[in-house]
Amino acid sequence: MPFSERHGDLFAATDMDALAHGVNCRGVMGAGIAKGFKARWPEMFAHYRTNCEARALFPGVCLSIPANRGSDAMWICNLATQDRPGPDAKLRYIAGAMAEMMEWAEDSGGGIRRIGMPRIGCGIGGLEWVEVRMIVELLANESPVEVVVFSL
């Protein structure tokens, strides 16, 4: 099944081809899981921030950036789920960014088979998982790419 949920640390998952997380469009990764992404992949953060400063990242868009996990190549998908930091996530932004990410993964020629992500838009973003889950599950189940949502 293309959608599943797993308890555990997203960053410890070694069976993912890409990791995704929700971001704002202002170039700030100062809290929540985004802060962990920034600390682990500073080059990814610099690329994301440059796109934000150039106003090239908009709500509802996916910015995929190559990264490394030890000796393994992987991807980080920055899902623009909100315009500004704080409780600003919108379901329509999640739907757009997820759809773009799934299309990108499907077009990868089989290189992206499994994407791990947290409960995007929830927590700092301000949305309820029950609503977000419907969108994520629907889009994942329409794709051959598996989406695994992690929660601690």
Kindly tell me if the per-residue pLDDT of 20 is higher than 80: yes
Token couple for 112: 């992206």
Parallel, antiparallel, or unpaired for β 72-80 and 114-117?
A: unpaired
Question: pLDDT, tens digit, for every residue of 93-145?
Answer: 999 999 999 999 999 887 899 999 999 999 999 999 999 999 999 999 999 99
Distance CA(104)–CA(90), nearest Å, equals 21
Domains of the chain as residue ranges with CATH: 3-151 (3.40.220.10)
Q: CA-based angle 123:126:129, to the nearest 5?
A: 65
Residue 51 phi/psi, 5° resolution?
Answer: -65, -40
Kindly tell me if the per-residue pLDDT of 36 is higher than 80: yes
Token couple for 86: 């704080």
pTM attached to this predicted model: 0.96
